[in-house]
Structure 1
Amino acid sequence: MERIHILWNRDWKFMHGYFPDAAGAEFDDSEWYDIGLPHSFGIPYFMEKDFYVGYGCYRKRLYIEKAWLGRRILLEFQGVFQETEIYVNGSLTGTHKGGYTAFVTDITDAVTAGENIVFIRVNNLWNPRLAPRAGEHVFNGGIYRDVSLIVTDPVHVAWYGTFVTTPEISGERATVEIATEVENQETCEVGCRLISVIRYEEQEVARAEGEMTVGAGETAVLRQRTAVLQPKLWSPEAPRLYQAETLVYTEGQLRDRYETTFGIRWFAFTADRGFFLNGEHYEIHGANVHQDHAGWSDAVTHTGITRDIGMVKECGMNFIRGSHYPHHTFFAGECDRQGVLFWSENCFWGTGGAKVEGYWTASAYPVKEEDEAEFEESCVRSLTEMIRTNRNHPSIIVWSMCNEPFFTDAATTDKAKALLRKLVEVSHSLDATRPAAIGGAQRGGFDTLGDLAGYNGDGAAIFHDPGFPSFVSEYGSTVADRPGTFASRYTDGVEQPYAWRSGKSLWCAFHHGSILYDMGHMGIIDYHRLPLDAWYWYREQLTGKPRPESAVEGVAHALTLTADREVISDDGTQDTQLVVALLDAEGRRLSNSCQVTLSVVSGGGRFPTGKRFVMSAEKGSFLDGLGAIEMRGLYGGDTVIRAEAEGVIPAEILIHVNGEEKREGAFENELLPPPSVMKAPKGEKLYEIGINRPVFSSSAAEKFPARSVTDGSWDTCWRPAEKKDGEWIMVDMEGTKEIREIRITFAEMAHGEFEVSLSGNREGFEVLYVSGERPELTHLTLKPQDKEARFIRIRFLEQAVGVRRMEILA
């Protein structure tokens, strides 16, 4: 019998809480919610900065065929945030720590033929010994990616046990090397014959055969080598894919069949000439992508991922940075299929601002020595799992070790650097075919620790021709909501074709949930997956497709309701995006505000809020005459959805859900919002939140760069290139912050008039302080009352002087 792989997303029970006695078959879960996977603790979630933190428990009945006994039975989890305990029939069968990578647990010895009970306890508690300790997105818990049941022969290819590389490629011939791990879980040594068949468009193009011996209870690796003639190269413009089928035989009997998808391409990041793909210079331009979607939080379907990647591709971009953690393995697979280069990133990162233990604003690296070893193990584990499960994807061109690790307690900087050196070594040992990048390396000398430096924020302005491969991993962060401005997000000359720069990546593609105020509203596509005008600007410039007509004010007449797909499955891999538009009598889209209610009239369709979803401008879900939400199928059959608003003609649509129809008399417990939320800690203590923030200036003298004012050192300073009137320097807090105190230290006595002002969007600055004529001071402390701002600017109206420090406290 060959291996069995069953998607196991349907018909789960869930409840918030710990439930110490819920692992056994006798436990009554009849009052628990009826859900399907993927699932998040926080559903429904709409970009709130406060979210549920605690435990959540899942139960499901597992039927084991009698024929499966004697084989190996595994449960595969593509992602659970973030600590997981798995019980089968009351026995603990496995645990996992880490919220972003796939893992398996062997349940063979715990199951019996017939019905079994699977109980899973998950928590999303902040853990000082688990990466990430900090981040600016949200950390909703749950089994938020797919779960599968895998049944294999005792002699089988290990989980994600193949690694296909193409070390030599030309137009005429590509050498293909296949390293295959075979597990033997029998009680005696076995001799295996491995046949690897390579196919392109279902036609065999090469094969390799070999033999190996695997000891009892051991794993062995066989390396095979073959060649593909006239290879079809993979690129974003031509995403051609091959399949390698691995057949495992013992004594002429087929024991396992395993398939691996891969691509043939080669690439190089260079210090002086940028990036090359398949021997040709290649311009990379893309965007950063967080994983969460409106209402559903991180629990995103395959079709949701497909839409996301498609929208990046549609606007003419060819690259995605997976910010700032490993994404679903389906994500890289979809990049393979659609043709998008992918930067896959580990979850070691830090954020600016107060470093508060007990919450995700802590120091990137532990501040307590007793936490260090386990934390480093978690970073290595997540990197190892990310590489193992994604290493065959041709779209992936970078393994990134981190994001902005310099946002760590000053006393831990050297240890953070040592950890990154270790991670680079681990990456090289696991996969020498891709560079190990340091993502967000624009401060503190972190950019020299890997093979490729990724610069965020003002890094594009600071690091010109650094002498090693470099990339603008973030540029253009701008807070905006629909419709926004029809313009680019270019900053610091990133649009210039510098020969030494390998590429650039916009911050960011999509709005996302964030624990920090307004940090999530920086996408060129909003949280509901509707484009801002900036997305249309990039599409017009990069593809030539013109911007559509803008909505206009008018007399509302009717609603339209459309779907990107009218047939979906109920297995958690598919949804449909429903879009509501407000029209006048002539069919023109209006920009009027109104409240729209979507209702499931009949059938098993569900919004993240249940059978009803309300859109409005106040909620940010119906803007510029458009609103959207993703709907899923809880069970099979036809679902009818109706859109209504006061005083206009309603609209209806029918979506068919493939799957098992609702059983007669079955009770359905609708999922309710979480019982509580954890609020970000806020104390009376002042924290300096400006350290290592991006800094911009009108000019800078050589050896006196703008970044000196937030580097934390008293030995450096910024000086303008000339001491002329109108020079300025400005700190970017990277998001709106409550400013409680500003401390400015000048490099020498300030004699001329200057002003200090605040802005939320780099426009319309509000003057906070004007010095008056001949101020004669070297220090200035300001205490704004109830002021929120992103940008803090000093502008010298006359006689500009240097600035040593700008300390921003909250």
Structure 2
Amino acid sequence: MIRERRFINGDWKFDFGEHPEAELEASDPQWYDVGLPHSFELPDFREHKIYVGHGCYRRTIEVDETWLGKWIALEFLGVFQVAEVFVNGRFAGRHEGGYTPFTVDISDAVTAGANDVFVRVNNLWNARLAPRAGDYSFGGGINRDVSLIVADRVRIDWYGIGVTTPEVSRERATVAASVEVVNDEPWPVQVSVAAVVSDPERSVASLPTMHRRIPARSRAVVELEGVVANPILWHPDHPHRYKLTASVSVDGIARDSQTTHFGFRWFEFTADRGFFLNGEHLYLHGANVHQNRGGWGDAGTRASIRRDIAMVKELGMNIIRGSHYPHHPYFAEECDRQGILFWSELHFWGMGGPSDDGYWFASAYPVNEADEAEFEESLRLALREMIRTHRNHPSIITWSIGNEAFFSDDAVIGKAKALTVELVALAKELDPTRPAAVGGAQRKGFDVLGDIAGYNGDGAELFMDPGFPSVVSEHHGVIGPGPGKYEVRWEHGVEVDYPWRSGKIFWCAFHYKTIAPGAGLQGLADYFRRPKRAYYWYREQLRGIAPPVFPEPGTAAALRLRTDTETIPTDGTGDARIEVELVDERGVRVADDRPIRLTVVEGEALFPSGQSITLSPETSSVWDGAGAIEVRSYAPGSQRIRATADGMAPAEIVLTATGRGRPLGSARRLPPRAPYLTEPPPGGGYISLAAYRPVKTSSAAPGHHGGNATESGGSCWRAMRREPGEWIAASLEFPYLISRVEIDFAEAPSSPWLVESAEDGHEFTTLHRGEPGSVRSVKVEFELRTATAVRVYFPEQPIDIEEIRVH
């Protein structure tokens, strides 16, 4: 055996709570049975509340006697957000940060036979750990795969192969491989390191073998180089990948071997001509993607990742922005395979609105000096981990430092910008082959801090031809549950593809769960990955494919089940997506939205709620006469699933789970819903809900854009025209309960003005009519109401506005 790697996603025990010293005790039979990936939030129907606290996991792993003396490690691809790992009661390792992989060396803690692994996880908000804020759900759990790795004491380090392609043309390409070799032996060794490059058909190059003496208990990086003639270039239209296999031997005996995939391509972001791939102009058109999903929350499988990327690709898009944190390493691998570019992002993340410490509405950068050093180090570490584990993927064309970090307290904005500059430099030091971007850089001068500026929302119209490479990293146009309309509302002029702009990325591909009530409904597809009408509209714009016939209202007579696969692996990497439809007597789907119950009647298949789940209009999991959910199994065998709904006969489908697994049958104990849910803590630290958020206007004079009116201390908004009907609308981005609007006019109003609000951001109703007067600053108070935007409208003549504040 040179190296062994196996998933250990099945057969875990779990319970909520911290369970002090439980790592020293025998397994508690009252704990619940779960499989990984797992989230504290199961089942997840987009409730904006989340469980914040601890959860503990336990599993037995079998260690072969022949493994003793080798390097044995547990690999975690993601745990949100602090993990403490114990083996046989001994502390083995700790990791802070919820989005990047890590390993825990357990070589000296295990014995031959059964060994107890105990993992204590918490998702407590931490002032010193990124992210401090974000429009997302921060549910805890071991929400990505876990593997057991066994390798030699002399080996290639974990993710220890870095591949670059310094010179690429259609006739010739060079390959440079950096192989990090570890010597854990108590004596020096002379290693020989070799590598072979191959494509799916054959070997195409052998890199000359290098020899290196490595001292005892140390490591060395061995550089290898080679040439490939007539390379097949990687491109979204033909995503050809190559494989590099590196090996390490001592005295002619192989000690380790690892393989990584890469691709040959070259690219350039330009300030005046846009983006180029392999020497040809390519306009970037894509979508933002969050990892959480209907039912399973953040605990998606590799199969679910595969489907997500396929849906974006099917639209005709060519790039995904990984909003707003490092994604599962398999995400980038699948982008490579399917042919879609990837903007990989760090979680230096701001949100705006409430600003108190204690929850994920806080200042993106710490407001207390004592928290700064650890917070900054958490981002440095995460950036290093993201780049190390993602660096070989040809789909990745930039490392982004974060999103809207300008939502930091004004007192520390200088420090937030300084950290951004430092992280940009670190990204380029770790990987000189890619530029560093700053996402959501439309306020407070963040756009000049990286190689590429990503402008969100009104940044698309505020920064026209900025003089350096830029992308619209978020543009909106859809909101709301259910099927929606067959349209996307272009905002801020993004319908124009300017030659100097590299591209535009829609917000967002899928609905997502968030701590902000009412937000997260901007997807082209819903939380359960069912395409909305707008999905097909976008596909028609990009690919010219006419939409399907949409269901009409009617009375259903039967149920119909569909699945994307009939086979499920039992190792936790796969699942089956089941769609259930309500059809009439002709077999045509009708918009008859009634609850549908899915039940496993044979086998050990699991929905996020256990062996049954109800999809319904109340949870937005049934609309247009259909619902969908993913099902997985950790035990092999036939899995028969039945769908039932009032007034019609059941329907069934049979899947097959393949692989290893331990059937539990009636002994299975599934966890209940989280024992408590938390609301954001009350606090008085609210800044204006409109501060630094996107602004729309009927017109704006040069130098007097709408954004001036939501930035304290800035210039003012001034309409281009002095005519009736001018207006300025401040977006809150999320539905908030508001009761007060404050306006600072540049001069006392000499004509009437109206304050209006819109719950959906589009349809406005009047809250207050203001008359001419002698007071320049006004405060309008009203009964509490939900609003996503606030507008000041001028029925006769516009008045310059210095600031609008919404509370």
TM class by shorter-chain length? over 0.9
Does 1:409 find its partner at 2:409? Answer: yes
Amino acid at match of 2:97: G
Question: Structure 1 stretches (4+) deviating beyond 3 angstroms?
Answer: 660-666, 683-687, 774-777
1:698 equivalent in structure 2? 698
Q: What is the deviation of 1:722?
A: 2.0
* Structure 1 segment 179-578 matched on structure 2, within 5 A: 179-208=178-207, 209-578=209-578
Q: What is the deviation of 1:378?
A: 0.1
Q: What is the deviation of 1:477?
A: 4.8
2:86 and 2:119 in contact (8 A); partners too: yes
Q: Matched residues in 2 for 1:4 and 1:662: separation? A: 21
SS in 2 for 1:23: helix
1:787 equivalent in structure 2? 785
2:681 equivalent in structure 1? 681
Q: Matched residues in 2 for 1:661 and 1:70: separation? A: 28
Quick one: structure 1 residues 402 and 471, their matched pair in 2 at CA, closer, same or farther if it must change by over 3 Å? same
2:142 equivalent in structure 1? 143
2:237 and 2:339 in contact (8 A); partners too: yes
2:799 equivalent in structure 1? 801
2:654 equivalent in structure 1? 654
* Structure 1 segment 587-602 matched on structure 2, within 5 A: 587-602=587-602
Q: Matched residues in 1 for 2:143 and 2:760: separation? A: 34
Q: CA-to-partner distance for each residue in 1:210-256, whole Å, 9 max, x for gaps? A: 11121111111111111110001001100100000001111111010
Q: Which runs of 5+ in 1 are unaligned?
A: none
Aligned CA-pair RMSD? 1.3
2:106 equivalent in structure 1? 107
Q: CA-to-partner distance for each residue in 1:247-284, whole Å, 9 max, x for gaps? A: 11111110101101101100000000000000000011
Q: CA-to-partner distance for each residue in 1:302-333, whole Å, 9 max, x for gaps? A: 00000100000011111100000000000000
Query: Structure 1 residues 459-468 or 674-683, which shifts more?
Result: 674-683
2:477 and 2:490 in contact (8 A); partners too: no
Does 1:579 find its partner at 2:548? Answer: no
TM-score using structure 1 length: 0.98
Q: CA-to-partner distance for each residue in 1:492-521, whole Å, 9 max, x for gaps? A: 222212111011100000001000012111
Amino acid at match of 2:736: K
Q: CA-to-partner distance for each residue in 1:692-726, whole Å, 9 max, x for gaps? A: 0111111111111110011111x511111121111
Quick one: structure 1 residues 361 and 685, their matched pair in 2 at CA, closer, same or farther if it must change by over 3 Å? closer
Query: Structure 1 residues 677-686 or 52-61, which shifts more?
Result: 677-686
Amino acid at match of 1:770: R
Query: Structure 1 residues 761-770 or 564-573, which shifts more?
Result: 761-770
Q: CA-to-partner distance for each residue in 1:583-625, whole Å, 9 max, x for gaps? A: 1111221112211111111111111111111111122111111
Amino acid at match of 2:251: E
Q: What is the deviation of 1:684?
A: 6.0
Q: Which runs of 5+ in 2 are unaligned?
A: none
Q: CA-to-partner distance for each residue in 1:323-352, whole Å, 9 max, x for gaps? A: 000000000000000001000000111101
Q: Matched residues in 1 for 2:662 and 2:465: separation? A: 62
1:635 equivalent in structure 2? 635
Q: What is the deviation of 1:457?
A: 1.1
Q: Matched residues in 1 for 2:649 and 2:129: separation? A: 53
Q: Matched residues in 1 for 2:548 and 2:587: separation? A: 15
1:489 and 1:534 in contact (8 A); partners too: no
1:482 and 1:531 in contact (8 A); partners too: no
Quick one: structure 1 residues 135 and 562, their matched pair in 2 at CA, closer, same or farther if it must change by over 3 Å? same
Aligned length, in residue pairs: 806
Quick one: structure 1 residues 775 and 394, their matched pair in 2 at CA, closer, same or farther if it must change by over 3 Å? same
Q: Matched residues in 1 for 2:234 and 2:757: separation? A: 49
Q: Matched residues in 2 for 1:687 and 1:762: separation? A: 20
Q: Matched residues in 1 for 2:178 and 2:353: separation? A: 45
Amino acid at match of 2:91: L
SS in 1 for 2:352: coil
TM-score using structure 2 length: 0.98
Q: What is the deviation of 1:482?
A: 2.2
Query: Structure 1 residues 485-494 or 289-298, which shifts more?
Result: 485-494
1:748 equivalent in structure 2? 747
Q: What is the deviation of 1:661?
A: 5.8
Q: What is the deviation of 1:776?
A: 4.6
2:133 and 2:361 in contact (8 A); partners too: yes
Q: Matched residues in 2 for 1:537 and 1:776: separation? A: 50
SS in 2 for 1:618: helix
Quick one: structure 1 residues 36 and 758, their matched pair in 2 at CA, closer, same or farther if it must change by over 3 Å? same
1:126 equivalent in structure 2? 125
Q: Matched residues in 1 for 2:664 and 2:420: separation? A: 57
2:74 equivalent in structure 1? 75
Amino acid at match of 2:673: P
Q: What is the deviation of 1:775?
A: 4.2
Q: CA-to-partner distance for each residue in 1:53-72, whole Å, 9 max, x for gaps? A: 11111111111101111111
Q: What is the deviation of 1:760?
A: 2.0
Query: Structure 1 residues 545-554 or 459-468, which shifts more?
Result: 545-554
Quick one: structure 1 residues 146 and 661, their matched pair in 2 at CA, closer, same or farther if it must change by over 3 Å? closer
2:763 equivalent in structure 1? 764
1:321 and 1:344 in contact (8 A); partners too: yes
Amino acid at match of 1:705: H
Q: Matched residues in 2 for 1:699 and 1:257: separation? A: 63
Q: What is the deviation of 1:640?
A: 0.9
Q: Matched residues in 2 for 1:648 and 1:237: separation? A: 46
Q: Matched residues in 1 for 2:477 and 2:117: separation? A: 44
1:87 equivalent in structure 2? 86
Quick one: structure 1 residues 664 and 166, their matched pair in 2 at CA, closer, same or farther if it must change by over 3 Å? closer
SS in 2 for 1:249: strand
Quick one: structure 1 residues 777 and 580, their matched pair in 2 at CA, closer, same or farther if it must change by over 3 Å? same
Q: Matched residues in 2 for 1:447 and 1:764: separation? A: 32
Amino acid at match of 2:801: V
